[in-house]
A and B are shown apart, each in its own frame.
Chain A
Amino acid sequence: MDALPALSVHDLRFSYGDGRTALAGITLAIAAGECVALIGPNGAGKSTLLLHLNGLLRGSGSVVVSGLTIGHAHMREIRRRVGLVFQDPDDQLFMPSCIEDVAFGPMNMGLSWTDARERALEALAAVGMAEHAERAPHHLSVGQRKRVAIATVLSMDPDVLALDEPTAGLDPRARRQLIELLRALPQTRLIATHDLAMVEELCTRSLVLDSGVVVADGPTGAILEDARLLQRHGLRDAA
């Protein structure tokens, strides 16, 4: 590969305080613009891996984002480059209004309120939520909150989007809207999910994670056709 990968992880290991091993030597590389699915059973380490991508958790091994190794020296830039979207939008949207929430990241990057607001409005328009800018997040539907949650990271102009279960808890219409939104985004995307139908539609490549290790990595079509692999790792029932 001649171009620098957007994201590369080498031998990443992490254990929680109670001794439970969440990541047991993850190695992967994702090219710029790729849309990659991260699938695996509950407790496989998907969310833990995402938390490492912008330095919220620090394990042994290395995580490199567009050539920058995660470390204290580059943390501000890493957090701009990797937009992390949490599973529950109520965790992500902590400000009293959508516009303030979306402007939160740009203001932390040092932008004035005028510039941050402009960026926030652009990001809200990109997810089709511009008309809800002044509303309180708790007055929005779950689908709308998920879209605003994506806008909160788009406003920081990230290179990589890491999304944790983006379609969880959505009704079919909201799910469809979110899939179309994710399809239209130009950034490198790493999507942790159990929604295999969405993976088939959106992602060209899939990684199967189980017990903290990558057990399969390949084209989505090949991974999803391997019924035994999916059954073995809890992604398809045995019946």
Chain B
Amino acid sequence: MAADALPAGSIREPDPRAKLIIASAFTVSALSTPALEWSRLWALSAFLVASVVALRLPGPVVLRRMAPLLGLVIAALIGIIVGAPWRPIADLTWRLLLMSGCAVVVTASTSPTRLIGAMRSFRMPHTLLAVLMLTARYLHVLGDEANRSARAWRSRVVGRMRWRHAVALGRLAASLSRRAVERADRIAWAMVARGFEGRLPCAPLPRMRLPDTLIAVAASCALVGMALWRHR
């Protein structure tokens, strides 16, 4: 293993490639489980919760990241409670929830650098990796800009929401988009100024350790096997 490589995987911090393999198997399993096989969907849900516990992810962090998926949870629960005609919808939304939850667990437990490194080792397209890396870096910056603009908007809006307020809000959104594009130009300049020629350099990951490989293979086989196994 190269001495300068990123830290090796461990039980506490599994290799990001192992996580990606398991996440892919989980997604395949969630997609290929037969319709209305609720016991298997519950098993996948339990696997997800167990992953959160095993990775020692703080509950509030996971819940906060899952907050945008609240609509899916409500739709699925309504489907389950209301009964037969809504069950297929509940089934579909629960699968979407599982796959989104899986993405949340992987991203919450892995630094963007290690995740991009793992994706690169699976030969994912460079453009996609560059977009993901820049998104991870600039999400906070854009969020801050949006917050500042929203604060400035609120400080000058008095009373109930009116038509002209809505128009102003729309213009604010357009202005944020324009600023994002201008920032993208400046970032592109900063990259080219330091010799960027289209391929994002990235720190290499060390060799995947045997325990990580075994965990990835075993978990993937179990997940895919569970989805494909047929009764009778």
Contacts and interface: CB of A to CB of B under 8 A. Distances in A.
A104 B192 contact: no
A14 interface: no
A138 interface: yes
A16 interface: no
Interface of B: 2-5, 111-113, 116, 133-134, 136-138, 140-141, 183, 186-187, 189-197, 201-204
A97 B117 CA distance: 13
A105 interface: yes
B193 A54 contact: yes
A94 B204 contact: no
Contacts of B2: 113-114
A146 interface: no
Contacts of A91: 183, 186-187, 189-190
A93 B201 CA distance: 14
A137 B187 CA distance: 14
Contacts of A138: 137, 140-141
Interface string A50-87: 01001010000000000000000000100110001010
Contacts of A187: none
Contacts of B141: 90, 138
A46 to B, nearest CB: 15
A107 B2 CA distance: 16
B133 A153 contact: no
Interface string A86-127: 101011111111001001110111000110111000000000
A153 B140 CA distance: 24
A93 B137 CA distance: 9
B189 A104 contact: no
Nearest to B186: A91
25 contacts: A54-B193, A79-B193, A84-B193, A86-B186, A90-B141, A90-B183, A93-B137, A94-B137, A94-B191, A95-B133, A96-B116, A96-B133, A96-B136, A104-B191, A104-B194, A105-B194, A107-B201, A108-B194, A108-B195, A108-B196, A108-B197, A109-B195, A113-B2, A136-B137, A138-B141
Contacts of B3: 114
Given A91-B186, A95-B137, A138-B140, A113 B4 contact: yes
Nearest to A118: B4
B195 A80 contact: yes
Given A93-B137, A113-B201, 11 more contacts: A51-B189, A76-B195, A79-B194, A90-B183, A94-B137, A96-B116, A96-B137, A100-B203, A104-B191, A105-B194, A113-B204
A56 B189 contact: yes
Contacts of B204: 113
Contacts of B202: 100
Given A113-B204, A138-B140, A56 B186 contact: no
